[in-house]
Structure 1
Amino acid sequence: MKKGDRTREYIIMKSAELFNQRGYAGSSLNDIIAATGIKKGGIYRHFGSKDEIALEAYNYAANVVNGRFSEAIDKEESAAGRLLAFFHVYEDVVNTPPFIGGCPLQNTATESDDTHPSLRDKAQRGMHNTLDMMKRIIYEGIRTGEFKEDVDPDTLASFALSLLEGGILLSKLEGSNRHMQMNMASFSSFLQQCCLKVH
């Protein structure tokens, strides 16, 4: 990778951390300069605007989290285990989230809902990508006979993601992982009692 490309990637990485902690609106160009140690001219050599940085920064943060999801999923053999793997990634969200500042999808969606259409679109695509990952796991569980045939993948994926994001929000707000732990336990019980065939 060329030096210019490395610099660009560094700006994206540090900006992603900054935006995910302080928000897009709460982060100025001077904050990006302070976080990267790169002067204004150096920033604008690689990006035309703060908006451009923000969109690339979201992609970076989302890719980091998706990588963690994929790693956790690959360790599981059952469909139920793969769905619970999403929760395990955020199991200690208060102290060691998969990306500094918490969930990029949640943070971006909350902040940009009515203020930044381009970032909102990014978050919306991120939501659909995560739901699609979950639905593929559910369809596979149905195909192999692990899940009942009448399980609706769209409904179950929406329920799983809602529990995950709700657990993240409440745990971060309270400064305790107990909400995530409770949601994980509830979802695990739901999968065992309602979705898995009795053998």
Structure 2
Amino acid sequence: MSKGTETRNRIIAKAAPLFNRKGYEGCSMQDIVDAVGLEKGSLYGHFPNKEALAVAAFEHAWSETSGARMANMDTVTNTIEKLKIHVANVVSLPSFAGGCPLLNTIADNDDGNPALKKVARNALKEWHVYLQSILKDGKDKEEIRAGVDPEEVATLMISLLEGAMAFDRVDRKLGFLVQAGKHLNSYLDTVAVQL
């Protein structure tokens, strides 16, 4: 890896938690300069503008987050068990510094930065398609009941998990995410083919 690539990756890694915590408008290039220890001109040597850096930072944060959420899913073959591992990962693994980057970016850029809104929308779509593909595979293997709609189940899972994360940000002691995880595990049992 070239020195330029290493520096670019270091900038992204330092900027990602800042953007995730402070949002696009709240994070200044000076904040990033201070965190990285480079001159502002050096940042612009790697990124044409703040928006390009914010997009790269989101992609980095989301890659780490989604990688953690999918950890160990390949250790089981049963569809329901795969999905339960996914739920457990979302509920129990520490989130990226500052919280879920998808939730933060969607909330921060609903009416704001179109480039960030676009990458967040793409990340959400990829997650949705990923869960749907697991559910479709489960139907093909006759582990999921025939009448179950994979798109609806994927939508429910994402909505419940992300919504619970948002509520936990307001009042963590109530444990919305843990409750959502328990509910999803029970729900997933109802979509399974009963032997």
TM above 0.5, yes or no, is yes
1:88 corresponds in structure 2 to: 88
C-alpha distance in 1, partners of 2:103/2:164? 11
Deviation at 1:86, TM superposition (A): 2.8
Following superposition of structure 1 onto structure 2, how do residues 71-110 of structure 1 map, counting pairs within 5 Å? 71-92=71-92, 96-97=94-95, 99-110=96-107
Following superposition of structure 1 onto structure 2, how do residues 1-199 of structure 1 map, counting pairs within 5 Å? 1-92=1-92, 96-97=94-95, 99-176=96-173, 178-192=175-189, 194-199=190-195
Q: Is the 8 A contact 1:151 1:195 kept in 2?
A: yes
Gaps of 5+ in 1: none
C-alpha distance in 1, partners of 2:16/2:69? 18
Deviation at 1:146, TM superposition (A): 1.0
Q: Is the 8 A contact 1:92 1:177 kept in 2?
A: no
Gaps of 5+ in 2: none
What is the aligned-residue identity percentage? 30
Deviation at 1:170, TM superposition (A): 1.3
Q: 1:186 to 1:124 in 2, by over 3 A?
A: same
Q: 1:177 to 1:78 in 2, by over 3 A?
A: farther
TM-score, with normalisation over the residues of structure 2?
Answer: 0.94
Deviation at 1:125, TM superposition (A): 0.4
Q: Is the 8 A contact 1:108 1:119 kept in 2?
A: yes
TM-score, with normalisation over the residues of structure 1?
Answer: 0.93
> Structure 2: which amino acid aligns with 1:18?
L
RMSD of aligned Cα (Å): 1.4
C-alpha distance in 2, partners of 1:75/1:177? 32
Q: Is the 8 A contact 2:144 2:191 kept in 1?
A: yes
Q: Deviations over 1:157-177 (max 9, x none)?
A: 000100110121112221237
Q: Is the 8 A contact 1:76 1:82 kept in 2?
A: yes
> Which has the higher mean CA deviation after the structures are superposed, 69-78 or 162-171?
69-78
Aligned residue pair count: 195
Q: Is the 8 A contact 2:143 2:192 kept in 1?
A: yes
C-alpha distance in 1, partners of 2:72/2:170? 25
> Structure 1: which amino acid aligns with 2:177?
M
Deviation at 1:72, TM superposition (A): 3.2
Q: Is the 8 A contact 1:33 1:39 kept in 2?
A: yes
Q: Deviations over 1:90-113 (max 9, x none)?
A: 3246xx22x111111111011101
